Amino acid sequence: MVAIAAAALLGTAGTLPAAAAAHRPTPAVIVGHAPTLVPEAGVWDASHHRFLLGSLRHGTVSAVALDGSVRTLVQDPALTEIAGLRIDPVHRRVLVTDLDNGIGERSTAATLGKIAGIGAYDLDTGRRLFYTDLATVAGDGGSHLANDIAVAPDGTAYVTDSFAPVVYRVTPDGTASVLLRDPRLTPAPGTYGLNGIVYREGHLILGKWDDGTLWRVPLGNPAALRRVEVAGGASLLHLDGLLGRPDGTIAGVTNALFGAGRDAELELRSDDHWRTARLTAVHPSPDTTPTAPVAGPAGSLYLLSGGLAAAASGHPTDAFTLRRI
């Protein structure tokens, strides 16, 4: 789920030349430092050979090199906190969710639990391309918290809402609509509902944090939403970020935020287009409260831990960890 950055060591682009970058080893652990960054989600930007991390504390996007050095790419005053972050390679932009979960420096009593937005930013410069208010699109006046994003091959984005049983559809030009509203996706009182989301061959796979369930949404008929029966699914409580892998599997993260659940990375596989699934691996995390699996260079996979539990208790830290699985 949801900067003041350290000085860049890699120049204005924050990247290495492509030929040199291709030969750099993939580190087992990347420890970065930036004042109270609290990154909740990340992506691998292969075109610049860097990670991009979204900050819950500052509402910024930071470029992170393999040596852990940090520089700010996106700094937009319209953003309060960032929880979801994906690259749209067709349009060379990064998409982020905007929310107010009470952790950000710009959080206010009036906006707490009321913000759901999506912003698009140029991948090279960080310039804003559009910002869309999804809470207004929902049109119900209730609580909202935009969480994660999936991007279809044509650049259409799909966004989960952790405080409402809603999935939004956002076209490449930023026009948004409600794709799905279903009471089965309502969060338990006082907690988070929909969280991670993955695009898979004309379907969306949704994860629900509060009960650890998976759901399948056919984009051609969203009303045909159905729960995915997961063999071994008792391990999915507090299911946070999801990541579609090149081999067709889905990597996920569970965490022990608020005490229940466990800090771990897990792997899910399906042989019937995600009508059912099975849990094939669970890797306990040595870092507390991981929030997202993040693709890395050369097909690697990292687990992001940005200090969410400390930030939620009012004590954000400067360090974050990307640990290779």
pLDDT surpassing 80 at residue 13: no
Report the chain's mean pLDDT, rounded to a whole number. 92
CA distances from 7 to 10, 70, 82 (A): 9, 7, 21
Q: Could you give the CA distance from residue 83 to residue 101 in angstroms, rounded to a whole number? A: 10
* 201 class by beta-carbon count within 10 Å (0-12 exposed, 13-18 middle, 19+ buried): exposed
Residue 4 is predicted with a pLDDT of 29
User: How do the domains of the chain map onto residue ranges?
Assistant: 38-315
DSSP letters spanning 195-226:
EEEEEETTEEEEEETTT--EEEEETT-GGG-E
Kindly state the average pLDDT of the residues 92-115: 97
Kindly state the average pLDDT of the residues 217-242: 94
Q: How far is CA 262 from the centre of its chain?
A: 19
pLDDT tens digits for range 164-179 = 999 999 999 999 999 9
Q: Which of 108, 186, 214, 200 is closest to 151 using CA atoms?
A: 200
pLDDT tens digits for range 284-301 = 999 999 999 999 999 999
Residue 23 is predicted with a pLDDT of 56
Residue 24 is predicted with a pLDDT of 66
**What percentage of residues in the chain have a pLDDT greater than 70?**
93
Burial string for 80-90 (b: 16+ CB within 10 Å, else e) reads bbbbbbbbbee
| Inter-residue contact 252 to 303 (CB < 8 Å) | no
Residue type, 154: D
Q: Could you give the CA distance from residue 176 to residue 194 in angstroms, rounded to a whole number? A: 18
**What percentage of residues in the chain have a pLDDT greater than 90?**
88
Kindly state the average pLDDT of the residues 17-39: 80
Token readout for 158 is 């799909």
Non-local CB neighbours of 2 within 8 Å, separated by 6+ positions? 40, 56, 81, 82, 83, 97, 99, 101, 103, 145, 147
Q: Could you give the CA distance from residue 32 to residue 46 in angstroms, rounded to a whole number? A: 19
Token readout for 25 is 């080893």
pLDDT surpassing 60 at residue 20: no
Residue 257 is predicted with a pLDDT of 85
Q: How far is CA 280 from the centre of its chain?
A: 22
pLDDT surpassing 50 at residue 233: yes
Q: Could you give the CA distance from residue 301 to residue 324 in angstroms, rounded to a whole number? A: 6
Residue with tokens 């009303």: 223
| Inter-residue contact 124 to 23 (CB < 8 Å) | no
pLDDT surpassing 80 at residue 250: yes
- With 0.85 as the threshold, say if the pTM is over it: yes
Q: In what order do the strands lie in the sheet with 166-170?
A: 146-151, 157-161, 166-170, 176-181
pLDDT surpassing 60 at residue 11: no
pLDDT surpassing 50 at residue 234: yes
The CATH superfamily of 38-315 is TolB, C-terminal domain (2.120.10.30)
Q: Which of 24, 9, 41, 33 is closest to 305 using CA atoms?
A: 41
